[in-house]
Every structure is written in structure tokens, then in C-alpha cells.
Amino acid sequence: QHLRRTVFFWEKRPVEDRFFQQNVTRWVDPISIGLMLLAALFLIRNACCIILEDNVAQQVHFCFTGLMVMICAIFYFNMLDRINDVLQTMITDQEIINHSKPVEKMQNIVHNISRSGDTERDIVYSFSHTHTVPAKVLHYIWSIYYLIGKILGALVVLAFFAQVESETINRFLLGSLLISGAASGGFMLELGPSTISLLRLSLYKPFYVGDLVTLNKTGDMAMTEAVVGFVENITMMYVVIRNFEMKQVWISHKAFNELVIQNWTRRPTKTVLLNIGISTKAPKTKVQSLQEFGKKWIKGSPDIQQNNYQKCHITSTSNGYNLEIIFFPMVGVSHRQIRQKFLMSFMSAAERLNVPFVPLQLMQNFCEDCEVGNVEAMSAAAHAAKEVVLDDLLPDPDDMLERGKE
């Protein structure tokens, strides 16, 4: 009982101190009853074999051994039933999660994008549903072991009472263990990698069917060597991803075990990242005024998280002034709407300041503003930039975007 309470982390403990428990009032552990009974029967059997005559001792030995075999069989069958109950509980928990609104919303999206509208085509090329839970697929594999394990256990008990030679029973048990080990290790039917992968997905839930994920071997954000898309289904041998080209990507569990999972759906909010190129021919006073306006706009917006990371700075001058802007919308605020709101105000400020932009992809820096290279013109423009008022373009604290929409 001490080992159970101190070693096995899944056992419930009434107090935090797992070594000195003062609230334990149960002196007898139900699991230890069977083990102690086996030890007692073993000692009594050996004692009887020494005390009694040989012909009687053989009968007593057989009876006590048969009783011990029955107790071991009961423990074995209970262990199989316990594992089966745990899997059933995991299935129930995941099905409850599937009925939650966020998960159900994403699964409906996958269901819609994977349908062509042609009933016959959808029956042939699409899955019938998009709410598979990994634990249920794992249970399909486990049911094979569960059935075979019960049959083997019953055969061993029958073989003993049929007085089959112990050497034959031992070989039978050894062969069964080797076959089970080969299947679990992946040498037969690839059940091993599939079982391990499904067990990980069931225990840790890195994603649900319908989530938007990125899969690659390094965890890098680059999309060139990654699989990006919606999880459409989980089968006994594959994880099926529907990518943005609407293709099904089938990834075997053996290969899936080596991939890094990035779950986009579980972001509490979506980052707004903008890179805006400003011509280097624009007066630096105007550029600085525009940069300060962007920073003030972000600081003054009620739809942006003020305690999170923010950035509005010039980071390089390779193709002009590269103004990098990063901020996080409030939870429930659409990143598309707040991005559009910011860009409209930012462009309005740029129009007032007469600041020209350049595409970041082009190597040639250009400006359509006439005579901007003239020293006198640039001096006058810099002086005029100080007089431009941009305060009316700052966000209104009372004008907040609607929450809960993407």
C-alpha cells in the first residue's frame, strides 16, 4: 500500500504529502488482499506437501495450485476489464468535448469544405462524419487484444484443470507473449506505432478533429516543408489532413510519431503582423510622425491588448523604411476587423503627411511625389509635417468592435 501511495502518480491522495498521510483510515487495501491470499496459499500448499503422505500431498498440491490459478485468472480478467473501462471513459470524455461549441464549429467547417455537393461523390471520397475521437479508434485496436487475451486466459485455466503438462502450458504462454510483443512492437500489422500514436492523441489531446494544424519535423514556422490544414479524420493507420488546396493528406501513425504539431486553433487571439514600406525619399520628420501616430493608435485602441507585446518601429531600410507593426487584439475581437480599422486610419494619416509607400518586394525605391529630392522642398515638407494634426484619427475609446466574431 505504501508503494501504491508513493510511486503510482495516478492514485488519489487525501493530502499533498504523499509520504506522511495522516488521513488514511483504511487499513486493508483491496488490491493487497489477493496478493496476500496467493502468498498464504503458496505457503500452506508447501507445508501440506511436507507434512502429508505423497499420494495425499499430490491431490492437495493440485487443489491449492488450481485455487491459485483461479485467483490469478480473476486478477487477469479484472485487469483487462479495468483497461477497457478506462478506454470507454476516455471515449465518453472526448465525445463530450466534441459537443462543445468551439470544437463543433471547427468540425462543421471541415464537414462543409470536404463536401462537393454531389451525393454519390461525397459517399465515395468523403468521410461520413468529421467527429472521430482517437480513443474510439484506439478501442478498436484494443478490442483485438481484449478478445484474444480473454480467450487465452480461459484456455490456460482449462488446460490446467485438464492436467495438460506444465511445460506445454509454459510454451503456450511464452508463444502468446512473443506474438503480442511482436504486434505491439510494430513487427506485425504495424499495430505498435498506431497504438502508441493513438494512445498519445487520446491522453494528451494535442488536437481534435477539425483543428487547424501545422505538421513538420522541426517545428519551424516555414511552410515550405510542412503539412498545413484541417484535421479531417483519424483512422486506425492514418491521420488525414485536408490542406488548403483541398487535397487529402494521409500521414501514417509511424511517420506521425516523428512530427511536431502546431495547433493554430488553440490560439486565444490572432496576432496582427504588418510590414509597411515607406520611401527613403520621404522626409524623416514625416516618417517619424507617421511611426509615432501608429504607436499612439495602438496604445489608444480599446480593442487591442495593452498588457501584451506591441511593436511599431522601423526595423530596416533595405527597400525603404520598413515599419514593422505587431499587436494582439482583445479576446473575441476579429483580427481582420481590427487590422482593417488600423490600416484605414494609418493610410489616412499617411495621406495628410504626404508620405509615399513602396512595395517591399521591389528592389527599386521610387516615389511619385514631384521634386521631393529638392533640398528646399524637403525642408518645407518637414516644416509642414509638424503642423499636420492627426489626433482626430486616433481610435475612439467608446467605438469598440463587436466581440466573438472571426
| Interval 349-361: pLDDT, tens | 999 998 888 877 6
Q: What are phi and psi of 215, to 5 degrees?
A: -120, 125
Tell me how far apart the 2 most distant CA atoms of the chain are, in Å: 124
21 three-class SS: coil
Q: Round the average pLDDT of the chain to a whole number and report it.
A: 81
Residue 372 has pLDDT above 50, yes or no: no
Report percent pLDDT > 70 for the chain.
Answer: 80
**pLDDT for 288-336, tens place per residue?**
999 999 999 999 999 999 999 999 999 888 778 999 999 999 988 888 8
Distance of CA 239 to the CA centre of its chain: 13
Distance CA 229, CA 262 (A): 11
Q: What is the pLDDT of residue 20?
A: 46
Among the listed residues 64, 31, 28, the one whose alpha carbon sits nearest the alpha carbon of residue 45: 64
Half-sphere exposure of 4 (CA within 13 A, CB side): 9
**For residues 185-207, average pLDDT:** 75
Distance CA 139, CA 23 (A): 37
The residue written with cell numbers 503438462 in the block is 165
Q: What is the pLDDT of residue 382?
A: 56
**pLDDT for 235-279, tens place per residue?**
888 999 999 889 999 999 888 888 999 998 888 888 899 999 998
**For residues 140-168, average pLDDT:** 84
Residue 7 has pLDDT above 60, yes or no: no
**pLDDT for 120-137, tens place per residue?**
888 888 888 888 889 998
Residue 180 has pLDDT above 50, yes or no: yes
Q: How many of the other CB atoms lie within 10 Å of CB of 88? A: 13
The residue written with cell numbers 471541415 in the block is 110
Q: What is the pLDDT of residue 261?
A: 92
